[in-house]
Amino acid sequence: MASSLIFILLIGLTGWIAFREYGRIIRNIRLGQDETISGDRSQRWQNVLLVAFGQKKMFANLIPAILHLFIYVAFLLTQIELIEILVDGFVGTHRIFAPFLGGFYTFLISFIEILSVLALVATVAFLLRRNVLNVPRFKKPEMKGWPSRDANLILFGEILLITGIFSMNGADVLLQQALPEHYHATGPLAISSWLGPMFFGNLDVPTLQVIERFGWWLHLIVVLGFITYLPFSKHLHILFAFPNTYFAPLSPRGQMENMPAIMNEVKSMMGLATDQPAMEAGADIPEFGAHDVTQLSWRNILEAYSCTECGRCTSVCPANITGKKLSPRKVVMSVRDRADDIGRKIDSGNPQWVREDLRQEGVHLTASNFSDGQSLFDLVSPEEIHACTTCNACVEACPVLINPLDTILKLRRYEILTQSAGPADWLPLFNSLENAGSAWQIAQDRDHWTKGINQ
Write down the pTM of the prediction: 0.89
- pLDDT reading at 223 higher than 60: yes
**230 lies in the same domain as 310:** no
Lowest mean pLDDT among 65-74, 158-167, 350-359, 403-412: 350-359
pLDDT tens across 94-103, in order? 899 998 888 9
User: Counting beta carbons within 10 angstroms of the beta carbon of residue 107, is it exposed (0 to 12), middle (13 to 18) or buried (19 or more)?
Assistant: middle
Residue 307 · residue 234 · CB < 8 Å: yes
Write down the mean pLDDT value for the chain.
89
**pLDDT score for 260:** 78
Residue 446 has pLDDT above 80, yes or no: no
What are the φ/ψ torsions at residue 292 (nearest 5 degrees)? -150, 170
Q: How confident is the model at residue 409 (pLDDT cuts 50, 70, 90)?
A: very high
Q: Are residues 326 and 183 in the same domain?
A: no
**CA 215 – CA 202 distance, rounded (Å):** 18
Position 258, amino acid: N
Tell me the residue range of the domain where 68 lies.
61-238
Give the SS3 label for residue 222. helix
Displacement of CA 159 from its chain's centroid (Å): 22
Domain presence at residue 13: no
> How many domains does one find in the chain?
2
pLDDT at position 127, please? 94
Q: What is the CATH number of the domain that holds 314?
A: 1.10.1060
233-271 tens-digit pLDDT? 999 999 999 999 999 999 888 788 788 777 777 777 666
Q: Is residue 10 situated within a structural domain?
A: no
Do 325 and 402 sit in the same domain of this protein? yes
**Residue 138 shares a structural domain with residue 232:** yes
Tell whether 124 and 201 lie within a shared domain: yes
Do 72 and 216 lie in a common domain? yes
Choosing from 238, 259, 278, the residue where a domain stops is 238
In-domain check, residue 257? no
DSSP class of 285: P
Q: What is the pLDDT of residue 368?
A: 86
Q: How far apart are CA 58 and CA 52, in angstroms?
A: 10
Q: Write down which residue in 238, 265, 298 finishes a domain.
A: 238
Max intra-chain CA distance, the chain: 106
**Residue where a domain terminates, one of 172, 204, 238:** 238
Residue 112 and residue 191: Cα distance in Å, rounded? Answer: 10
User: Is 142 inside a domain boundary?
Assistant: yes
Count Cβ atoms within 10 A of the Cβ of residue 407 and give its class: 0-12 exposed, 13-18 middle, 19 or more buried. Answer: buried
Q: How far is CA 225 from CA 154, 168, 218, in A?
A: 11, 18, 10
**420 and 361 share one domain:** yes
Q: Note whether 332 and 202 are same-domain residues.
A: no
**Confidence (pLDDT) at 210:** 95
Q: Band the pLDDT of 391: cuts 50, 70, 90.
A: very high
Answer for the pair 170, 238: CB distance below 8 angstroms, yes or no.
no
Question: Residue 424: which pLDDT band, with cuts at 50, 70 and 90?
Answer: confident
Distance separating alpha carbons of residues 63 and 76, to the nearest angstrom = 20
Q: Is 221 a domain residue? A: yes
Q: Are 385 and 332 in contact (CB under 8 A)?
A: no
Question: What does the pLDDT read at residue 280?
Answer: 60
Residues 91 and 194 occupy one common structural domain = yes
The 10s digit of each residue's pLDDT in 170-195 is 999 999 999 988 888 898 999 999 99
Inside any domain, residue 115 = yes
Sign of the C-alpha dihedral computed for residues 168, 170, 172 and 178 taken in this order: negative
Residues 291 and 174 placed together within one structural domain of the fold: no
- Based on its alpha-carbon atoms, the radius of gyration of the chain, rounded to whole angstroms, reads 28
Q: What is the pLDDT of residue 91?
A: 87
Question: Could you tell me the CA-to-CA distances from 182 to 93, 175, 194 in Å, in that order?
Answer: 10, 8, 21
Inside any domain, residue 3: no
Q: Measured between alpha carbons, how far is residue 173 from residues 59, 104, 287, 361, 381 in Å?
A: 38, 17, 68, 68, 59
Task: Identify whether 276 is part of a domain.
Answer: no
How large is the average pLDDT for residues 31-49?
92
Which residue from 319, 292, 313 is spatially nearest to 393, judged by alpha carbons?
A: 313
Residues 197 and 326 in one domain: no
Residues 184 and 298 both lie in one domain: no
Looking at residues 111-120, what average pLDDT do you find?
95
